[in-house]
Structure 1
């Protein structure tokens, strides 16, 4: 089995604008105005859809079906022994053509109890083009205060609850389950997340979505908001969530390791990429991977059975992996 080059996989008519930066990064034609996400090597469908969001391989099969048919070849024996055919990973390119709404995602326990899903939705971002992110409450917020702001759709007040932090290319942001956050306009990022599409929307004014109907995941806001962390973080505490990517095996803060890993691999001559199921993105330069030249913006899914990969050239690779089994 060899690495498989993937075309972009952009669900249409998302509720916020964006997509042009993904097109530029991948060297593709301009996108429609509301195609702000590229779901890479996705075995996850858009919430409420059967097929939208799923990656289809060049041979016509869904990646989800291919993994289910031969999980050991795709994921490796140790992974399958612990998690079966669950890839434990969803990777996206995300272009915020407008600021995203204030929202949060549920933890595993909440998702299992209230939604019957296999995962919650922890996520983390690697910044490709910078801007401002809004992450974490500045102060503790009472449940009734938060519910009132949602009910009144006071977007300015909701956003003002959060820390605003300028981020730059090469920075990383860890968003634990339950943490309120919003991505500022103009940012292009690579997102790793658990393989679910679960968002609790606290604001929806000026977005193409009926948040009052779907923003609570069918639970009602009284229940859904119980999944939100209402404890504040000091400015110094943000160092646990946001900062430059370190030179380490996984660039995200240590608490993210139980959910996913991201390696940043500079290439300047011969380089070896370790064996294992992964999603590989050429973030800069021209790199020959497994004997095939790839350019900035290329995205590949790598089966475990492909073995260790030789890479050469000059550039940088981002290697997204599931947690260590």
Structure 2
């Protein structure tokens, strides 16, 4: 039941990237605009019917397999509380160029305006470092923000955000509504709520029509109400950006209500707790339930697989939904 997952890279995204994912996975080079690998995905790209979904080795969509047997995939407690809602999307993301300034709505906004079950909280585990931009340095009015978006005053928009250097092993928590942008050269593992909902405030140098597509079909007057316009104090940044501990849970406690990520060093025999998980081998080369699992490989583990034994030397990142 444990399955190694190949790359699942939606083509022709609006920003460049993909080479660092290929190198991390030891795969042939990707196209210039394939900067994301959607791992264990039951989520589609916004407005698409199937693009973004993970397909299992037997050809079944993971979304359909989970819907048919949520207890086997997600566990009895999870299925009793949330049914077949996996409540997790995992991505590898390679910023071949700096991403635009953007934000994501929370659950209430997504339900009220879009009819979606989730908003989009997200958190990152940094694999290759660089610079990220996160949170406003000062309060901004709705009118000022709308004016900057309309004028595409990119320098001012980006200058409103804190600039933070990140290194491998750092983690970044991005609550819904918080403006952010990932700097060029950063490779990260992203955990998020299972939605593709982005409000794009910037599009001048990207392959998209932001005036038409940047507001989730709502118009910017409505979409910008989902954006947090109050400042994030610099002394509060350590609550959003920090170095992960060498083992165990890596995100701040507030994140556990959305999803969980565990850092697991492997030296000899290690047993993982049962439960649905997406596993990424971040270092070394190990044996996963008797299968070879080299660095960069990604794995889908259903709850029904029980305890999972790892052998060898390296490190794995274990992504899970919130605890039921």
Q: TM-score range by the shorter chain?
A: over 0.9
Query: Equivalents in 1 of 2:201, 2:250: separation in Å?
Result: 29
Q: Describe the superposition over 1:124-143 as per-residue Cα deviations: whole angstroms up to 9, x where unpaired.
A: 00000000000000111111
Contact 2:247–2:264 (CA<8 Å) still a contact in 1? no
Give the SS at the match of 2:300.
Answer: strand
Query: Equivalents in 1 of 2:210, 2:58: separation in Å?
Result: 38
Q: Does residue 56 of structure 2 align to residue 90 of structure 1?
A: no
Query: Equivalents in 2 of 1:62, 1:39: separation in Å?
Result: 13
Q: Describe the superposition over 1:218-237 as per-residue Cα deviations: whole angstroms up to 9, x where unpaired.
A: 11101000000011012111
Task: Report the equivalent of 2:175.
Answer: 176
Contact 2:18–2:31 (CA<8 Å) still a contact in 1? yes
Instruction: Measure how far apart 1:84 and its partner are.
Output: 0.4
- The answer for unaligned runs of 5 or more in structure 2 is none
Task: Report the equivalent of 1:295.
Answer: 294
Contact 2:247–2:265 (CA<8 Å) still a contact in 1? no
Query: Equivalents in 1 of 2:220, 2:247: separation in Å?
Result: 40
Give the SS at the match of 2:249.
Answer: coil
Task: Report the equivalent of 1:142.
Answer: 141
Contact 2:136–2:232 (CA<8 Å) still a contact in 1? yes
Give the SS at the match of 2:215.
Answer: coil
Give the SS at the match of 1:269.
Answer: strand
Query: Equivalents in 2 of 1:179, 1:308: separation in Å?
Result: 37
Instruction: Measure how far apart 1:266 and its partner are.
Output: 0.4
Q: Which ranges of 4 or more aligned residues in structure 1 deviate by more than 6 Å?
A: none
Task: Report the equivalent of 1:213.
Answer: 212
Give the SS at the match of 2:287.
Answer: strand
Q: How does 1:46-61 map to 2 (within 5 A)?
A: 46-61=45-60
Query: Equivalents in 2 of 1:3, 1:128: separation in Å?
Result: 24
Instruction: Measure how far apart 1:106 and its partner are.
Output: 0.2
Give the SS at the match of 2:139.
Answer: coil
Q: Describe the superposition over 1:20-59 as per-residue Cα deviations: whole angstroms up to 9, x where unpaired.
A: 0000000100000000000000000111111110000000
Identify the range of structure 1 (241-250 vs 115-124) with the bigger mean alpha-carbon deviation: 241-250
Task: Report the equivalent of 1:77.
Answer: 76
CA RMSD of aligned residues (A): 0.7
Instruction: Measure how far apart 1:248 and its partner are.
Output: 5.8
Task: Report the equivalent of 2:160.
Answer: 161
Query: Equivalents in 2 of 1:246, 1:205: separation in Å?
Result: 38
- The answer for unaligned runs of 5 or more in structure 1 is none
Give the SS at the match of 1:91.
Answer: strand
Q: How does 1:1-325 map to 2 (within 5 A)?
A: 2-247=1-246, 249-325=248-324
Query: Equivalents in 1 of 2:120, 2:195: separation in Å?
Result: 6
Residue-pair matches, total: 324
Query: Equivalents in 1 of 2:246, 2:111: separation in Å?
Result: 35
Instruction: Measure how far apart 1:246 and its partner are.
Output: 2.3
